[in-house]
Amino acid sequence: MKAKIYFLTLFLIALAFSGCESDKTDLSQPFVVGFANLSHDITRMHGQAEIKMKLSEPATSNGSVIIKVTPTNAQYTVDFETIPSSESGTFEVPFLAGQTEISFTYENKIEQPYVEDDKLKSVRFSIIQINYDSQVSIQGYTSTLVGFGISLGATLEPEIGGPNQGNQVFIDLSTELVTTSVRDKWDLGFYSDGLSRVVINGSLYMAAKQLDATNIDAVTAATVQQYQSQVAVGTFEASNVNYVDAPNGDIGKTAISEISANDNDNKVYLLNLGYSIGTDVPPVGSVAVAGSSRGWKKIRILKSGDNYVLQYADLNSTMHTEVTIPRSPDYNFTFFSFNTQNVVTIEPEKAKWDLNFTVFTNEIVGSGSYGYSDFVLNNLKAGVKVYRVNTSVKSFENFALTDINDANFTADQRIIGAEWRDVFTGTAYTDRYYILKDIDGNYYKIKMMAFVNQGGVRGYPKFQYKLVQ
């Protein structure tokens, strides 16, 4: 299976390699400076914070940016200060040749309450001039607001780990909170809300098959040998979708059946642990997400009240380990690791993330389950939904709250998925963007911008999002 995956990857990359060359800087383009974020939440600021700005390319000479300060119901020295000082209403932030990012310091003195005379306090910083020895342009996020409330938007670059893509990155758009977990630190996820369902780690290409047995100690490598070539991702057999969780995120269609209160209904499963995180350095434009085989386990899952009871062992073991797994009401799942033989924390609380950047087990219709890199999931289990908009219908910049169509949201966690990037050219599609509705009813528009770095190396996604108003 691994050989087939690697062969297809090399084939795709061979076609994409020349496209990576087009990512070189066009020297005819103006030098652009913009804020990294549209807004900053006062409620999360305690003491000093760095307000960052991005340069469109490494500066070839020294320069500076002039910032205008516009307070609303806030006073300098009383409610805030900046370094450099902005007491005059403007200040200058220098940059040196070679820099791609600059910042200034904002010192927050606004404490609860964040209002005065029923008026919210805020401070807006705007780029009004760029001093540089070349053609310049003020574009992108030309201003940023330090205020009370949800994020107005940002440009983020989730650190998924380069071409090995060893991380799963969870992002909450309204707070700009980013949580990173190494993707091989969990094996099973025990669902917390309602149904008694257990998921497998699809980012490692795990697979599971139900056996006709209830005695875990009686199952051996010899009794399951006939199934091992089938219970795998990427076999190009349509039937192997039965051995993975439903790619659309339907919790009622997991590879492991609903756990019954009747022990006799709960069968033993053959569990393919998939692959470790890759460590090879692949050709530029390719990925190496799958390392060596992680082997096999046999498992059986029971119920004890509202808790799960997991039995597990190596295939030839005549004894098993048993552990009770509690539900975690604030989270989608309670995660368990065979390596640590314990519960582990992977995802943020279910109400505190919207998007997950990860390697993923998806489906090729007619060819079964298959592994994908650069994948983006929405938090469907918490109610986060997404739909796609084509720029031919409405431009990203002009899409407004009146353009929202709730009927377009679907119960599928893969709407962004892998359909945002073109592996043949090494670029993100520019003819589409996405509308996301979070669990608080906020709407965000999301534009995917890149999945390779300036050298054409995979595993460096970048996206922009804005609150739809």
Q: At 112, which CATH number? A: 2.60.40.2030
Q: How many domains does the structure of the chain reveal? A: 2
Q: Which residues pair with 302 in a beta bridge?
A: 309
Q: Is 24 exposed, middle or buried (CB count within 10 Å of its CB: 0-12, 13-18, 19+)?
A: exposed
Query: Does 218 map to a domain?
Result: yes
Whole-number pLDDT of residue 211: 98
Same domain, 7 and 94: yes
Whole-number pLDDT of residue 18: 30
Whole-number pLDDT of residue 40: 87
Whole-number pLDDT of residue 112: 58
Whole-number pLDDT of residue 73: 84
SS3 65: strand
Q: Please enumerate, as own/partner, the contacts of 6-14 that have beta carbons within 8 Å and a separation of 24 or more.
A: 6/290, 9/282, 9/286, 9/287, 10/283, 10/286, 12/286, 12/423, 12/424, 13/282, 13/283, 13/285, 13/286, 13/423
Reading the block at residue 85, the tokens are: 């000082």
**DSSP assignment of 309-372:** EEEEE-TT-SS-EEEEE---TTSSEEEEETTTTEEE--S--GGG--EEEEEEEEEETTTEEEEE
The answer, as to whether pTM is greater than 0.75, is yes
Same domain, 6 and 136: yes
Whole-number pLDDT of residue 46: 76
Residues 6+ apart with CB under 8 A from 308: 190, 196, 198, 259, 301, 302, 324, 325, 326, 327, 334
Low-confidence ranges of the chain (pLDDT < 50): 1-27
Whole-number pLDDT of residue 17: 30
Q: Cis peptide leading into 84, omega within 30 of 0?
A: yes
Reading the block at residue 376, the tokens are: 């983006």
Same domain, 47 and 192: no
Same domain, 134 and 271: no
Query: Does 454 map to a domain?
Result: no
Assign residue 44 a region: left if phi > 0, alpha if psi is -120 to 50, beta otherwise?
A: alpha
Query: Does 21 map to a domain?
Result: yes
Query: Does 404 map to a domain?
Result: no
Assign residue 5 a region: left if phi > 0, alpha if psi is -120 to 50, beta otherwise?
A: alpha
Whole-number pLDDT of residue 116: 54
Whole-number pLDDT of residue 175: 86
Domain boundary residue, one of 303, 319, 347: 347
**Integer CA distances (angstroms), 127 to 95, 133, 153, in order:** 14, 17, 17
Write phi, then psi, for 430 (nearest 5 degrees).
-105, 0
Query: Does 363 map to a domain?
Result: no
Domain that residue 76 falls in: 1-35+39-148
Whole-number pLDDT of residue 30: 85
Scanning the structure block, which residue is given the tokens 């050989």? 3
Write phi, then psi, for 449 (nearest 5 degrees).
-120, -30
Same domain, 187 and 139: no
Same domain, 134 and 24: yes
Whole-number pLDDT of residue 24: 33
Whole-number pLDDT of residue 12: 35
Query: Does 375 map to a domain?
Result: no
**Integer CA distances (angstroms), 445 to 35, 260, 398, 450, in order:** 18, 41, 11, 16
Domain boundary residue, one of 122, 148, 174: 148
